[in-house]
Amino acid sequence: MTSACRLLLALLLAALASLSVAAGPAKPPKPLLAQIQRLGELLRDSHAVLYPEATQVQFVSPRKGEEMALTMFTVEGFGGGNSHVQYLAAFSTETSDQGKPHYSLIDVVQIAGKGWRGIPTLAARLAPGPARGETLITLDALEVTADDAPNFPSKKITVTLSLKGGRLAELAGPESRK
């Protein structure tokens, strides 16, 4: 292999590596991860465990001057089996008097799971809802069809949740995406 080919290959690999890092979701800060771990303990059964490697966070601004952390995390192994559930949790972000970040749980909902649907990447889109103070959160997801294996959903859908009065609720039926 010539030196020009090696240089071109090295540049290509570096470009691909930077793309995968830039495109990936943010890792949760340690104080937020601690909150997610506590939440995972509450949501699991005696067999299930939090799968921390699958935890994703997205910082969003539902309204001007507000910041919220949306987190998606997975708990797996319910009943000692191979099942899993994805949860979406919303946290308010605050700063303590000492300048340290603090995250308070707003709400958490089951958003996906084995045999139902999956959300590979947390890339929420926010919009004001029709009610005062309501925020709509839209997520791209994959739904399991009759021809899919339980862990391999293939139908592209959109899931919309409402955050109103400190409660998350999924709105009527997901819509297929073309």
One-character DSSP codes across 68-114: EEEEEEEEE-GGGSS-EEEEEEEEEEEE-TTS-EEEEEEEEEEEEET
Taking the whole predicted model, whether its pTM rises above 0.95 is answered as no
DSSP 53: E
- Look up residue 41 and give its two tokens: 């303990």
Q: Tell me the pLDDT tens digit for each residue of 24-81.
A: 456 789 999 999 999 999 999 899 899 989 999 999 988 888 899 999 999 998 888 8
Q: Tell me the pLDDT tens digit for each residue of 71-124.
A: 999 999 888 888 899 999 999 999 889 989 999 999 999 999 998 999 999 999
